[in-house]
């Protein structure tokens, strides 16, 4: 009797078709009461197959390790801004480089956001002035994620780190500077001056680098040089330069070394404190989804992409299976007759999925029941983890405990999953 009542209140169109657990509970309470009512309705709603297919709930994965360089110019963040109105010089975009230690900003106007201009920017505006970086953090823009850029960084023995397209906060330093740049341009460039906005970029760069960084407690110029730079305001009020505060060259050098050491230590401490606060705040509503062989999952249906689509967001349910094979074997071997019964009607879907998930085990995916040190992702052995999703009967969902979370997409074209346990 109880299942019939719950089915009526949860699935009937006139009673709020497939409403949430709270709304279903609120409606049922008006007409009846029974033992373990709250937990029963919650389990019924969470295990509803159609609700899980239409699920749009997003749960953030835990914040990964942030890069904290020990000194300036070791790690840079890169991004691009634009397109803006084409100037009289033909420029339409701005390349943005940010030193992650000092927050120093380097800007360059370019006519096109392509690989050639990006390489010229790296060599002419960053490496020529600040030396070879140990690492560069950027997004998956076509001008950053290509063979030429990777070859360049390989030749100079530097790392290039790509932020996940589903976790752009990792490249937050350059993203933030892009926002500031756009804001300044909107204030300084009216309709009559849009053709010469690129002429204002040097002054904007001076303003950004000489302004106080609230996290680091100093301006970027002071962090890099140990002294405050002379600004246009200093010229206006005829302020004395930094050299007037020192007694000779030896005093200047000694005090400068001391200043830089103290400033860098303060800056490093403030960065670590801020990163710790950010991690605590971010992880309040984040959740790590661990997938183990045998878990029941739903996968996003790519045919339902778009606001106009009325199809369910996810298809399934499926059983997640991890099969370990020697790396020398082809991934296609998992589609042999040995597994043919498992994939059956879903053969083409699984074949497409295998192409995107074959390397998942080496991307640091945590499997439930395994320690991080024991996973094949961290041992660097020659075992390849291949993942199969096999369609199952929705009736099997009745006895499963529902704990819904969307797994972070490891690859751009990887189907996210909802794990049912």
Say if residue 262's pLDDT is above 70: yes
Tokens of 145: 């994620």
**pLDDT(13) > 90:** no
Q: For residues 408 and 354, which has the higher predicted lDDT (pLDDT)?
A: 354
Quote the tokens at residue 147: 């063979």
SS3 33: coil
Contact 2, 28 (CB under 8 A): no
Strand-pair partners of 106: 97
Please name which of 421, 412, 357 lies closest in space to residue 389, comparing C-alpha atoms: 357
- Where residue 128 falls among pLDDT bands split at 50, 70, 90? very high
Q: Which has the closest alpha carbon to 335: 371, 387, 292?
A: 387
Least confident of 137-151, 257-271, 275-289: 275-289
Provide the 3-class DSSP secondary structure of residue 171: helix
Task: Give the integer Cα–Cα distance in Å for 138 and 80.
Answer: 10
Residues 6+ apart with CB under 8 A from 115: 142, 143, 146, 148, 149
Which residues are 375's β-sheet partners?
none
Specify which residues 93 forms β-bridges with.
110
Q: Tell me what the mean pLDDT of segment 156-165 comes to.
A: 81
Whether 121 has a pLDDT exceeding 90, the answer reads: yes
Residue 304's pLDDT is what?
Answer: 54
Interacting residues of 35 by C-beta distance below 8 A, sequence separation 6+ = none
pLDDT digits (tens, 9 = 90+) for 230-256: 777 777 666 655 555 556 666 777 878
Q: What is residue 95's predicted lDDT score, i.e. its pLDDT?
A: 93
CATH 3.30.420.10 domain position(s) in the chain: 75-281
CA distance 310 to 287: 28
Q: Give the fold, CATH level 3, of 75-281.
A: Nucleotidyltransferase; domain 5 (3.30.420)
Can you tell me the distance from the alpha carbon of 51 to that of 11, in angstroms, rounded to the nearest whole number? 10
Q: Specify the pLDDT at position 2.
A: 79
Query: Which residues are bridge partners to 136 per DSSP?
Result: 76, 160
Please state, in angstroms and rounded to a whole number, the distance separating the CA atoms of residues 191 and 64.
43
Instruction: Categorize the per-residue pLDDT at 331 as very low, low, confident or very high, splitting at 50, 70 and 90.
Output: very low
**Residue 270 pLDDT greater than 80, yes or no:** yes
Following DSSP, what letter does each residue of 235-278 receive, concatenated? HHTTPPPGGGGSSHHHHHHHHHHHHHHHHHHHHHHHHHHHHHHH
310-328 in b/e form (b: 16+ CB < 10 A) is eebbbbbbbbbbbeeeeee
Query: In Å, how far from its chain's centre is CA 419?
Result: 21
- In the prediction, which pLDDT does 130 show? 92
Q: What integer pLDDT is reported at residue 211 of this predicted model?
A: 84
**Pick the residue with more confidence: 390 or 12?**
12
Strand partners, 108: 95
CA 66 to chain centre: 11
In whole angstroms, give the CA distance from residue 219 to residue 233: 15
Instruction: Read off φ and ψ for residue 388, nearest 5 degrees.
Output: -115, 140
CA gap 65, 84 in Å, rounded = 34
């Amino acid at each position: 009797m109880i299942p019939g009542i719950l089915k009526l209140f949860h699935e009937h169109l006139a009673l709020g078709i497939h409403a949430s657990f709270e709304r279903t509970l609120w409606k049922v309470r008006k007409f009846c009461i029974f033992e373990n009512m709250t937990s029963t309705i919650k389990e019924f709603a969470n295990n509803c197959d159609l609700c899980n297919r239409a699920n749009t709930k997003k749960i953030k994965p835990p914040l990964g390790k942030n890069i904290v360089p020990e000194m300036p110019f070791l790690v840079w963040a890169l991004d691009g801004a634009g397109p803006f109105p084409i100037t009289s010089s033909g420029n339409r975009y701005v390349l943005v480089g940010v030193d992650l230690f000092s927050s120093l900003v380097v800007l360059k106007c370019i006519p096109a956001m392509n690989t050639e201009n990006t390489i010229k920017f790296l060599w002419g505006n960053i490496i020529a002035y600040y030396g070879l970086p140990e690492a560069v953090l950027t997004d998956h823009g076509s001008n950053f994620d290509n063979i030429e850029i990777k070859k360049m960084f390989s030749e100079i023995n530097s790392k290039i780190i790509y932020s996940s397209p589903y976790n752009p906060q990792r490249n937050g330093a350059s993203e933030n500077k892009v926002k500031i740049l756009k804001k300044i341009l909107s204030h300084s460039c009216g309709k009559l001056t849009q053709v010469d906005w690129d002429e204002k970029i040097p002054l904007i760069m001076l303003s950004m680098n000489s302004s106080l960084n609230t996290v680091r407690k100093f301006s970027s110029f002071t962090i890099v040089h140990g002294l405050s730079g002379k600004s246009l305001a200093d010229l206006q009020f005829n302020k004395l330069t930094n050299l007037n505060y020192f007694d000779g060259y030896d005093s200047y050098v000694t005090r400068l070394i001391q200043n830089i050491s103290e400033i860098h230590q303060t800056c490093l401490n403030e960065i670590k404190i801020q990163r710790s606060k950010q991690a605590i705040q971010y992880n309040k509503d984040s959740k790590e989804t661990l997938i183990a062989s045998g878990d029941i999952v739903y996968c996003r249906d790519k045919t339902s992409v778009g606001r106009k689509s009325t199809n369910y967001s996810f298809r399934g349910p499926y059983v997640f299976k991890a099969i370990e094979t020697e790396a020398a074997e082809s991934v296609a071997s998992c589609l042999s007759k040995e597994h043919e019964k498992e994939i059956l009607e879903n053969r083409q879907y699984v074949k497409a999925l295998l192409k995107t998930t074959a390397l998942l085990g080496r991307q640091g995916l945590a499997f439930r029941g395994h320690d991080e040190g024991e996973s094949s992702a961290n041992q660097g052995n020659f075992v390849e983890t291949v993942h199969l999703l096999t369609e199952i009967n929705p009736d099997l969902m009745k006895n499963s405990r529902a704990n819904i979370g969307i797994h972070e997409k490891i690859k751009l074209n990887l189907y996210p999953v909802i794990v049912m346990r």
